[in-house]
Every structure is written in C-alpha cells, then in structure tokens.
C-alpha cells in the first residue's frame, strides 16, 4: 500500500522530523515490551507517528481497574475478555492501518527474549517489573539495539535512554535488579493517571529521536513527580568500564536458568504459572473438560477463564496461567496441576 503522507503533514513541517525523518520512521521496526499504562501511551504515539512495524508483547488480560490509566482499552475490550496484546493490536490498527502491528501474547523471559527482540531498531519498555528490564538490557546491549526505559507509579516516574556503548546502560546506573516485591508498583502504591502521559510522552519522544536520528537525547535519568511538582534530570556520565553488561559483555540475565515457574504478581493477589516447552493448548477442549468441575466464564482463541470457589484461573494458549485469589506460589502451582494438569 502506498503511503499517504497527508496523514503525517504536521510532522513533515516540523523540522525535527520532516520528510527524511518520516521516511526513516516508516521503515522502522519497534518492539514494545508491556502494554499497560506506559505501553498504551507509547504505542499510541508511535503508531500515530507512523513507525513501519510495531510488535507488542504483553502477558496479561484486561481488568476493570486498568481502564483508569491504560488508554488503549475500553469497556468493550473488557467484555470481550481479550488479552492486552490482542486488544491493543486491534485498536492500533484502527488508528493507523498503514502500520504493521503485531500483538504477541507472551511473557518475555530469558529463553524467548533474543528471539522476540533481535532485529528491532528500537525497543521500548512498558514493562511492570524489573526482572524483565534487566533481560531487555542484556539483549539490547548484546545486539546493539537502543532502548528506552520507562516506569511510573503513584505520582512519579522515570525514564532513561540506553544507546549501547554510547550512554550508560541500565546496569551502569543500577547494577542489581531489586528483589521482587522490593519496589512499589501500581498495584501496591496506586497511581495518579497524568504521570503516565508525561513520562511515556518523554520516552516516546526519545524513541522518535532515536529512529529519526535528530534532537538531543536524555543521557542519564529524567525523574518527574507531579504531586511534588519536581522535574529532575541526572547526567549518567559515560558508560562504566566495569559494568558487567556493557563494559564486560557478561549477559548474566540471559544465562540465568529461567526464573521460577510460579511467580507471585506483587500486590495483585495472583500468581503467574509458566510451563516452559509446553505445547499450545486447544482451549475449547480444555473448557469442555473444566465445565464439569467449575464455572468457565470466558473462552476464546486466546484465553480461557475458569472459576472454582474463590479462585479464578486465566489460562492462555501457551499454557501459561494467571491464578487469582492467592499469592502463595505453592497453592497456585497445585491448583494449576489439579485443573489444567499440564
């Protein structure tokens, strides 16, 4: 399909992008990891700006409390019981049918990260946990892909632009990943929604500048707090020679054995269960079997939702599940084997 440049008229007359920049955007391949609040805002900006190809990776489904801040989703998506990656793909295609948008329902981890991210011109972070950001950092430094960190909670947020070997990487400034549960999340500390558009807007601008090759980059950390009304910029200095990742080429987050198969999702009273190497499930057939032992409340091509007492299990086609109603990993694992039995 020939590109209709009329759509981009206001970018073509903006000197920071122009015709040449627009052509670079149209050829760009971007991967966005996580399509919640930040991810929605970033994807919306990039798709309207006309990136050529956008892959969205998200492991989750839409819940009512997401609509307060996750701007790609609405009540119809909630009723349709769609995974975020699928609902986001549909919405973004309606916004700009010239962009090739691909939603991937998956949990980015050490085993699949290189397959999912390699080949991108830019990786954008819309993730909700630190473990995945250290995996992104390893892949991006290893493959020389620029990436933009973005995180918000409560009334504050932070963004960092990583151009491998030119600016500090995530581990240059934050050598160790905080242990799970050690940092506040939207589920534990809440969030005032305007911080999302502010910080994701800065991150999206960084992404566009990287793709177009113009403008001044954030070479450290930008931190904004909308309740304290503080806007701070920290210069990260040069990359650290003793950084394990970009200084020494030790990609230890990719080499670690894949994390636990059951991981409590902080603040959500839920546990994610992964089954590495599992075959894809025929969800309709599983639903038939489960109808005898509980209440199947949703089933479609992407997920199956099942209630047994206070426990709700959302099972994805890749055999991954989110068990809601417990934060005890052992309990969740045993419920999974009892009902899904993989």
Q: Of the ranges 68-76, 113-121, 235-243, 303-311, which one interacts with Zn ion (CB under 5 A)?
A: 235-243
CB of 119 to Zn ion, least distance (A): 22
Closer to Zn ion by CB, 158 or 304: give it. 158
**CA 142, CA 313: separation in Å to the nearest integer?**
37
Among positions 171-210, residues that touch Zn ion (CB under 5 A) are 171-172
CB of 137 to Zn ion, least distance (A): 8
CB of 156 to Zn ion, least distance (A): 24
Question: Is 186 designated active site?
Answer: yes
Q: Write a three-state SS string for the chain.
A: CCCCHHHHHHHHCCCCCHHHHHHHHHHCEEEEECCCHHHHHHHHHHHHHCCCEEEEEECCECCHHHHHCCCCCCHHHHHCCCEHHHHHHHHHHHHCCCCEEEEEECCCCCCCHHHHHCCCCEEEECCCCHHHHHHHHHHHHHHCCCEEEEEEEECEEEEEEECCCCCCCHHHHCCCCCCCCCCCCHHHHCECCHHHHHHHHHHHHHHHHHHHCCCCCCCEEEEEECCCCEEEEEECCCCCCCCCCCCCCCCHHHHCCCCCCEEEECCCCEEEECCCCCCCCCHHHHHHHHCCCCEEEEECCCEEEEEECCEEEEEECCCCEEEECCCCHHHHHHHHHHHCCC
Is residue 169 near Zn ion by the rule CB under 5 A?
yes
Q: Of the ranges 163-171, 270-278, 308-316, 319-327, which one interacts with Zn ion (CB under 5 A)?
A: 163-171
Q: Of the ranges 19-27, 162-170, 183-191, 303-311, which one interacts with Zn ion (CB under 5 A)?
A: 162-170
CB of 175 to Zn ion, least distance (A): 9
The tokens describing 213, both together, are 């090759």
Closer to Zn ion by CB, 157 or 168: give it. 168
Q: Which residue is nearest to Zn ion (CB)?
A: 243
CB of 235 to Zn ion, least distance (A): 15
Q: Which of 243, 266, 286, 322 binds Zn ion (CB under 5 A)?
A: 243
Q: Of the ranges 11-19, 97-105, 166-174, 299-307, which one interacts with Zn ion (CB under 5 A)?
A: 166-174
Closer to Zn ion by CB, 83 or 168: give it. 168
Closer to Zn ion by CB, 73 or 134: give it. 134
Closer to Zn ion by CB, 225 or 250: give it. 250
> Which one of the listed residues 186, 243, 246, 266 is annotated catalytic?
186
Is residue 290 near Zn ion by the rule CB under 5 A?
no
Comparing CA positions, the residue from 137, 128, 131 lying closest to residue 168 is 137
Q: Of the ranges 182-190, 220-228, 241-249, 318-326, which one interacts with Zn ion (CB under 5 A)?
A: 241-249
Closer to Zn ion by CB, 56 or 243: give it. 243
Taken in order 193, 195, 198, 204, is the CA torsion positive or negative? negative
Q: Which of 150, 246, 281, 299 binds Zn ion (CB under 5 A)?
A: 246
Closer to Zn ion by CB, 251 or 306: give it. 251
Comparing CA positions, the residue from 55, 21, 17, 105 lying closest to residue 322 is 105
**CA 308, CA 290: separation in Å to the nearest integer?**
10
Is residue 273 near Zn ion by the rule CB under 5 A?
no
Q: Which residues are catalytic?
A: 186
Contact footprint for Zn ion (CB under 5 A): 169, 171-172, 243, 245-246
């Amino acid at each position: 399909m020939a590109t209709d440049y009329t759509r981009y008229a206001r970018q073509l007359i903006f000197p920071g992008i122009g015709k040449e920049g627009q052509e670079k955007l149209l050829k760009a391949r971007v991967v966005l990891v996580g399509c919640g609040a930040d991810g929605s805002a970033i994807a919306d900006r990039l798709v309207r700006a006309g990136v050529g190809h956008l892959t969205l990776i998200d492991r989750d489904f839409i819940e009512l409390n997401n609509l307060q801040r996750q701007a790609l989703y609405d009540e119809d998506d909630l009723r349709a019981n769609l995974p975020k990656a699928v609902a986001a793909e549909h919405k973004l295609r309606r916004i700009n049918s010239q962009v090739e948008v691909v939603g991937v329902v998956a949990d980015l981890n050490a085993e699949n990260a290189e397959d999912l991210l390699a080949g991108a011109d830019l990786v954008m972070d819309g993730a909700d946990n630190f473990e995945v950001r250290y995996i992104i950092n390893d892949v991006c430094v290893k493959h020389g892909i620029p990436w933009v960190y973005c995180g918000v909670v409560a009334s504050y947020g932070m963004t960092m632009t990583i151009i491998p070997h030119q600016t500090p990487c995530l581990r240059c400034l934050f050598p160790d990943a905080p242990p799970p549960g050690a940092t506040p999340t939207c589920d534990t500390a809440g969030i005032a929604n305007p911080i999302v558009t502010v910080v994701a807007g800065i991150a999206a601008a960084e992404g566009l500048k990287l793709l177009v090759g113009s403008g001044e980059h954030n070479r450290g950390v930008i931190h904004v707090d909308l309740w304290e009304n503080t806007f701070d910029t920290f210069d990260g200095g040069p990359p650290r020679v003793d950084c394990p990742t970009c200084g020494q080429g030790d990609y230890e987050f990719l080499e670690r054995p894949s994390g636990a198969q059951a991981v409590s999702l902080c603040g959500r009273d839920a546990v994610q269960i992964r089954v590495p190497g599992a075959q894809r499930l025929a969800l309709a057939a599983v639903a038939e079997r489960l109808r005898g032992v509980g209440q199947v409340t949703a089933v479609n091509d992407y997920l199956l939702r099942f209630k047994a007492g206070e426990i709700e299990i959302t099972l994805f086609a890749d055999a991954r599940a989110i068990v809601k109603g417990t934060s005890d990993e052992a309990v969740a694992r045993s419920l999974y084997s009892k009902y899904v039995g993989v």
